[in-house]
Amino acid sequence: MKRHNFSAGPCVLPQEVLQKSAQAVLDFDNGLSLVEISHRSKAFVDVMENARALVLELLGLEGKGYKALFLQGGASTQFLMVALNLLEKRAGYLNTGTWSDKAIKEAKIYDDIYEVASSKNANFNYIPKGYDIPSDYDYFHCTSNNTIFGTQMKSFPKCDIPLVCDMSSDIFSRTLDFTQFDLIYAGAQKNMGPAGTTLVVIKEDILGKVSRKIPSMMDYKVHLSKSSMFNTPPVFAVYTSMLTLQWLKKLGGISAIEKENEKKASLMYSEIDLNPLFKGFSTKEDRSNMNATFTLTNEDLKETFDTMWQEAGINGLNGHRSVGGYRASMYNALTLDSVKVLVEVMSELERKA
């Protein structure tokens, strides 16, 4: 039986994508498996180029000076690569939770980092607002969606310096003016594909401004000059990501999936707000449409509730240890029907209790 997968990442992918990529592992190109052909073969080079082009098309960034790369090492390696490639004197970071905290820690290895604002004082249950970003900094870094705490930036500060954003857990989930960003990165395994590749979208003209020597594998310019094939790319992860991007395009692109995501989130949050047995974790105005975090108002019901959702075929609902309670991750491929099943279990608990 197919489960209702609310896992925060790696997470649910469209069933048709899984079927096609499973088939490609067996036979991709004339009796050869996707994972045994040369990455330099025409069949795979076409996959890479198709995936890179689809990214720019879906984000509305075609012909605007941007390039897409499929790299390795996860979003966690981008914490370091961003600093290596862009940080000369000082950068500003917005601290909205665990992932921003880690990005700050890596960048600090290279230079001074200024935390422009932080919501640590309230265990990151809101997004700080009204801060200033000094215009003489090298760049400003933020995290669009805080996977662990369930907060999401609804708007981004206007700034005169390059804007860098970790969009690991909400890329391709909502329409935004993506031209406001100069560098976007995202680990594939939250909204795009399997673990193993990380998407980086860069406005090329921000590169080449630091004086340090950059190791080849860490240098965006090297990867760009080799069309994202400087070394053997993670072929399975890139292919599966390409299939997900094709699936999204066929659905009608980001604006179509955004409407679905809004329906799922509003159904989920209205249950959290109306059901007296549950309480939302994050501030209402900053709630994430991807990860809804909530707790039980009466911990004695934990065992009953846990049994109920597990019996309903739900997976991956436990909250992160730094928040506790529950987290319902509602990425692009999770259906509205899955959310209905969860909401039904929550109201059933209210009727029983």
Q: Which residues bind ligand PLP (CB under 6 A)?
A: 9, 74-76, 99, 143, 147, 166, 168-169, 187, 190
> Cβ closer to ligand PLP: 73 or 253?
73
- Would you list the DSSP string of 285-298? GGB-SSEEEEEESS
Task: Report the alpha-carbon angle 163-169-174, nearest 5.
Answer: 75
Shortest Å, Cβ 190 to ligand PLP: 6
Cα dihedral sign, 254-260-263-269: negative
Nearer to ligand PLP among residue 75 and residue 330 (C-beta) = 75
> Choosing from 67, 138, 166, 203, which is the catalytic residue?
166
Cβ neighbours of residue 232 under 8 Å, at least 6 residues apart? 39
Residue 70 vs 305, nearer CB to ligand PLP:
70
Amino acid identity, residue 269? Y
**Out of 67, 138, 170, 190, which one is annotated catalytic?**
190
Cβ proximity to ligand PLP, 21 vs 78, nearer residue: 78
Q: Which residue in the list 67, 99, 170, 309 is annotated as catalytic?
A: 99
- DSSP structural state of residue 349: H
How far apart are CB 187 and ligand PLP at their closest, in Å?
3
Taking the complex as a whole, the smallest distance from the CB of residue 100 to ligand PLP amounts, in Å, to 8
Known catalytic residue: 309? no
Whole-number Cα distances in Å, 227 to 91, 255, 258, 274, 336: 28, 28, 30, 51, 38
Which residues share a beta bridge with 327? Answer: 293
CB of 349 to ligand PLP, least distance (A): 29
Measured from the CB atom, is 190 or 264 closer to ligand PLP? 190
Look up 247 and say whether it is catalytic.
no
CB 318 to ligand PLP: min, Å: 16
Helix axes 253-274, 235-251, angle to 10 degrees: 90
The answer to whether 190 is a known catalytic residue is yes
CA–CA separation, 116 and 134 (whole Å): 9
Q: Which two tokens stand for residue 88?
A: 């000369």
Active-site positions read: 99, 166, 190
